Amino acid sequence: MFDDYTVTILIMMAVWSIVTLGLNVITGFAGQFNLGIGVYMGTGAYVSAMLTTQAGFGFWSAMPLAIVAAAMMGALTGLPALRVREDSLAVLTIGLVFVFESLLVYLPYFGGPVGISRIPRATFAGVPLTNNGYLVIALLALAAAIGICWYVKRSWLGLALESVREDEHATSVIGIYPARFKLYAFTIGAALAGLGGVIYTHFIRFISPYDFGFMPSIYVLVMLVFGGIGTIRGAVFGACLLTMLPELIRFVQDYRNLMYGCVLVLLMLYQPRGLLGSDSFVWLQLLRAKNSLRLFFTNGRSYAQNS
């Protein structure tokens, strides 16, 4: 269907989209700073890799366990967020990701600095999947992640998370316990990032601690901020574009950090909500275009708003 190169890019776009969606639940919905999303992605990846290389698990049986492990890691690292806020929390999560990376490097049990290799391919009905087949799985995982985020956003849970982001004390005064919902956000976000880690691991089939350290965590944050923090479309768009861009434009690949840095500075100055965030320039233009199209096709009759 696609050549290997294209499939690789598409799968990596799906992986980073899933991880960015996870960060979006924690930072976008619930407003809890997290510069260490790599911890959860890495937990998912390592648990799945260990189970399949050493404990004889298959891809499908290792995946749920890896996701549960990542979720537990999320709940555990969410505990400090109950006491620490905003900038202190950001610094604390940087600390966590360094501890996580170092532990993986120093403990030979996890393969040390060389990591884990010869991770088996995913199988389907006993047959190892081709890259094209794996792309289907990655896209299904992405669809599931989008579905979960979509549902969370429309549930009382999602509304409570956004209330916590806006004003923690006001949230408690109307009868919602903020600590409980912060933990939910960390758990759900970490589970999603863990899913991304599992998909990553069984595609790359060789992982090292540095794949889930501080820099990858920052890249994920850049993707989220770039696309539009707090929105599902922004998370997926940012992750896809910033995964694709270095491949499309050679120049970007050589100067990846330089470009990411400049993008961040410019966005914060001129479009702090990201490219597709609510109230952002591009998104407002798209909405306007949609409305014009709608008027065009209904011969100028505007729809009655249902509210």
Give the residues lining the site for another protein (CB under 8 A).
151, 154-157, 159-160, 162-163, 165-167, 169-178, 180-181, 184, 230, 307
* Residue tagged 């916590």 (tokens): 164
Is the Cβ of residue 105 or residue 276 nearer to another protein in the bound state? 276
CA atoms within 13 A on the CB side of 4: 3
Cβ within 8 Å of residue 58, ≥6 positions away: 52, 120, 123
CB of 274 to another protein, least distance (A): 14
Under 8 Å between Cβ of 11 and 26: no
| Tokens describing residue 183 | 């933990």
Cβ within 8 Å of residue 258, ≥6 positions away: none
Calpha distance 189→26 (Å, rounded): 6
Under 8 Å between Cβ of 59 and 52: yes
CB of 278 to another protein, least distance (A): 8
CB of 149 to another protein, least distance (A): 13
Is the Cβ of residue 111 or residue 274 nearer to another protein in the bound state? 274
CB of 34 to another protein, least distance (A): 19
CB of 160 to another protein, least distance (A): 5
Is the Cβ of residue 126 or residue 175 nearer to another protein in the bound state? 175
CB of 41 to another protein, least distance (A): 24
Calpha distance 263→260 (Å, rounded): 5
Is the Cβ of residue 184 or residue 200 nearer to another protein in the bound state? 184
- What does the DSSP assignment read for 1-55? ---HHHHHHHHHHHHHHHHHHHHIIIIIIS----S-THHHHHHHHHHHHHHHHHS
